[in-house]
Amino acid sequence: MDAYYASVEQRDRPEFKGKPVIVGGDPKSRGVVAACSYEARKFGIHSAMASSTAYRLCPDAVFIRPRFDMYRAVSTQIREIFYEYTDLVEPLSLDEAFLDVTENYKGMPSATIIAKEIKREIYRRTGGLTASAGISFNKFLAKVASDINKPDGITVITPEMADEFIDRLPIRKFFGVGKVTEEKMLNLGIKTGADLKQYRKEQLIQLFGKSGNYFYDIAHGLDDRPVQPNRIRKSMGKETSYKTN
């Protein structure tokens, strides 16, 4: 979902549409930013920032206390849309999930078509909330792709595109690379996926422990983790088409 908490607040309070909205704690106390609208992000505001800092960056911003019950309710509504296509849904948070649509209930042959349809349904049923989708052949690339064309975008990474995409990807964009790891990688001269590929697996394990295996694999586009659903699949089907009867 795009700027999820803030977008829900702008939906429910139309007077805040187009304005910098910050969902989080009181800027006059020790509160932090839980989420912010794209209008607020233009001022350099981001989640986990101190609310007082956000206020200094944008004194005209609208500060709103979180309504987690509402965010959970909308999240459930969105998830039910996912389940109309597949039970292989792995939630990452209230506003994000992996879907495996290789086999889907509607028999649709294209993940891109499914993503477009899901985005339309989310927009229609939630009263105007937008989502972005990343589509690829593994979880790592799909996750990274989902952040490329925000808001309200779709990014597809095919197997043929993967190497070039990873080579150009800034290391901070790699799923699983936090601030501390990013700093360590930058100190080693690792700025992009192409830089990361220069290291052997043994070297990365020596530098980053067991995470070295993961970094080596994703730098080479390897990620065989399945989508782990949090509910039992209702059914499964398989079809084989023959050239002749």
Q: What is the pLDDT of residue 240?
A: 43
Backbone phi and psi for residue 95, each to the nearest 5 degrees, phi listed first: -120, 15
CATH for 90: 3.30.70.270
Q: Which of 27, 45, 66 is the last residue of a domain?
A: 66
Same domain, 146 and 174: no
Q: Known catalytic residue: 96?
A: yes
Confidence band (pLDDT; 50, 70, 90) for 243?
very low
Q: Is the dihedral of CA 140, 176, 85, 9 positive or negative?
A: negative
- 211-219 and 201-208 are packed helices; what angle lies between their axes, rounded to 10 degrees? 140
Residue 11: closest CA among 94, 120, 128, 119: 128
Same domain, 95 and 114: yes
User: Is residue 235 in some structural domain?
Assistant: no
Q: What digits encode the pLDDT tens for the residues 15-43?
A: 999 999 999 999 998 899 999 999 999 99
Strand (E) or helix (H) holding 90: strand 89-93
User: Is residue 208 in some structural domain?
Assistant: yes
Same domain, 60 and 133: no
Work out the burial of residue 214: count CB atoms within 10 Å of its CB; fewer than 13 is exposed, 13-18 middle, 19 or more buried: buried
Same domain, 59 and 96: no
Q: Which of 115, 130, 157 is the last residue of a domain?
A: 157
How many domains is the chain partitioned into structurally? 3
Q: In the numeric block, which tokens belong to residue 138? A: 């593994």
Three-class secondary structure of residue 49 per DSSP? coil
Same domain, 151 and 75: yes
Same domain, 58 and 73: no
Average pLDDT, the chain: 93
Q: What is the pLDDT of residue 231?
A: 61
CATH for 54: 3.40.1170.60
User: Is residue 232 in some structural domain?
Assistant: no
Domain boundaries, position 165: 161-219
Residue of 9, 84, 90, 96 with catalytic role: 96
Same domain, 153 and 165: no
Q: What is the pLDDT of residue 60?
A: 96
Same domain, 89 and 167: no
Q: Which of 66, 88, 110 is the last residue of a domain?
A: 66
| Residue 102 pLDDT greater than 90, yes or no | yes
Same domain, 8 and 55: yes
Same domain, 171 and 148: no
Same domain, 119 and 59: no
Sorted by sequence, the CB contacts under 8 Å of residue 237 that are 6+ apart come out as 103
Same domain, 178 and 145: no
User: Is residue 99 in some structural domain?
Assistant: yes
Residue 22: closest CA among 56, 54, 70, 67: 54
| Residue 234 pLDDT greater than 70, yes or no | no
How much is the average pLDDT of 206-226? 95
